[in-house]
Amino acid sequence: MSERIPIYAVITPSHRVLYDRFFLPSLDQESFELFAIDLEQEGKGEFLADDFKRCIIFKIEQIIASIKRHHGKIILWSDVDIQFFGLTAERLLQPFADKELQFAIQRLLAVGDEGCGGFYALRCNEQMLAFFESVLHTTVHETRGNEQDAINVLLRRPLAPKWAFLGPEYYARTHGVWLPSDAVIHHATCIVAGDAVKQKVKLLEDLSGFDQWTVFRLGTFRITSVFKALLRRLGLRIL
Question: Looking at the DSSP assignment, which residues form a beta bridge with residue 191?
Answer: none
Q: What is d(CA 10, CA 181) in angstroms, rounded to the nearest whole number?
A: 29
What is the total residue count of the chain?
Answer: 239
Structure confidence at residue 55 (pLDDT)? 86
H or E stretch at 202: helix 196-206
SS3 184: coil
**Structural domains of the chain sorted by starting position, each given as residue range(s) with its CATH number in brackets:** 5-165 (3.90.550.10)
pTM of the model: 0.92
Question: Looking at the DSSP assignment, which residues form a beta bridge with residue 120?
Answer: 77, 105
Q: State the pairing for strand pair 115-123/74-78.
A: antiparallel
Note the pLDDT tens digit of each residue in 79-105. 999 999 999 999 999 999 999 999 999
SS3 95: helix
Structure confidence at residue 47 (pLDDT)? 58
Note the pLDDT tens digit of each residue in 172-221. 999 988 889 999 999 999 767 677 899 999 999 999 999 999 999 999 99
Structure confidence at residue 107 (pLDDT)? 97
pLDDT at 45 over 60: no
Q: What is the largest CA-CA distance in the chain?
A: 52
Q: What is d(CA 70, CA 35) in angstroms, rounded to the nearest whole number?
A: 12
